[in-house]
Amino acid sequence: MPDYRVKISEKADDDVEHHHYLVTAKNEEEAKMLAMKFMAHFIDDDNDPEIIDNGYTFYNKAIVVKIESIKETTKEKFKDFLLKLHTINMT
């Protein structure tokens, strides 16, 4: 089965954070379904998130969590991406 890199945004007030996850799925549609199931529990304290297009809202729409993109990748490419993302002055 192929691997997919899922980019999820988390917006609270004017602050936006991006999270990157690796999902193994049959196809992009299944990767999205698995990511949506994961995001339904993104905020542990809110047991009743509201579903929106490509995501959820938590705490009466105070926090919005959405899928920004899904791209096919490999585990090695994903590791390289994370290394570059979290490394300062990589030359």
pLDDT for position 82:
94
Question: Residue 58 CB: number of other CB atoms within 10 A?
Answer: 23
- Chain segment 12-65, per-residue pLDDT in tens: 998 999 999 999 999 999 999 999 999 999 988 888 899 999 999 999 899 999
> What are the tokens at 23?
């999902």
Question: Domain residue spans in the chain?
Answer: 3-85
Q: Is the dihedral of CA 18, 21, 25, 27 positive or negative?
A: positive
